[in-house]
Structure 1
Amino acid sequence: MPEIPLVPAHWRFPAHPTSVRQARQAVAATLPRALHPHLGDDLGLLTSELVTNAIRHGARSEDENLIELVLWPADGHYWLAVSDPGTGNPVLTHPPADSEHGRGLLLVDTLATTWTVRPRPVRGTSVIAGFSFRRGG
């Protein structure tokens, strides 16, 4: 009989700066304690970065300003998807050294094992990042 997977953790936050901290805390509270030394800092940093980007670039009008997060384990990875209602397509850039913005996807590319940007089935965009972990802690 196949192993039954865990139900993914799912949250919705308003497109407001206070949601960045709330999202980071929700992800940290959900990650098994044994994985905190391996994934906690990287997953927290990328949660903050991706939620910030979703708020800045993906939220459009008052009735569409929800940022969604999904966190789930599968295939030796923890997967984080951050989605927003925007239609833009995030692109990896290499900003000049003196630039104060534009490094979010560079962080994702450096810290995640793999990542992608996908359109959502109805409306919006998701950035999905996978973080490998060692089974058993």
Structure 2
Amino acid sequence: MPGIPSLPAVPAHWRFPAHLASVPQARRAVADALPVGCPRHLSYELRLLTSELVTNAIRHGALADEEEMVELVFWSGDGHYWLAVSDPGSGRPDLPSPTFPDLLSAGGRGLLLIDALSDTWGVATRAIRGKSVIAGIRVSKS
């Protein structure tokens, strides 16, 4: 994974309850944070990527029986729009591999979408607890 730039002094940052009802709220938050004039296709890709990252964090990184939160950070830098979604789940030093579910499976395509939508992505273990999945989409696609 290419180097991920440092967070700017004031990135857009939100915390959401680890419930699936938070996914559309996260998507709206990123849409509202995009600069005026952001190309429609890029806005769509960022909102879809947000949905996948937040859904994965809720489903795979939070405990269903506890009141846990997921964090979403959005910033631009190094010619990319960056999304970082953090959850309290165990961190993984290696990148999870996208799987190819059978055609009738209802799920299992999240990492495939993340891999297809982003120009770079990776997992970072948080210092105290949890992990962050960070994905970047180039601002200007050639």
For the criterion TM > 0.5, the same-fold answer is yes
Match of 1:110 in 2: 116
Q: TM-score, normalised by structure 1?
A: 0.87
**CA RMSD for the aligned pairs?**
1.6
Structure 2 Cα separation of the partners of residues 48 and 106 of structure 1: 13
CA shift at 1:88, angstroms? 5.5
- Measure, in 1, the Cα distance between the counterparts of 2:19 and 2:50: 14
Trace 1:32-111 onto structure 2 (pairs within 5 A).
32-60=35-63, 61-63=65-67, 65-87=68-90, 89=92, 90-111=96-117
Q: Which amino acid aligns with 1:115?
A: W
TM-score, structure 2 normalization: 0.84
The amino acid of 2:102's aligned partner reads P
Percent identity among equivalent residues? Answer: 62
Residues 27-58 of structure 1 deviation map (CA, whole Å, 9 limit, x = unaligned)? 00001121142411011111111111111111
Match of 2:13 among 5, 10, 16: 10
- Per-residue CA deviations over 1:60-116 (Å, capped at 9, x if unaligned) read 2525x1100000100100100011000154442121222111110100110111111
Native 8 Å contact 2:118 2:137 kept in 1: yes
One-letter amino acid of the structure 1 residue matched with residue 134 of structure 2: I
Runs of 4+ in 1 over 3 A off after TM superposition: 88-91
Q: Decide which structure has greater helix share.
A: 1
- Name the count of aligned residue pairs: 129
**8 Å CA contact retained: 1:6, 1:73:** no
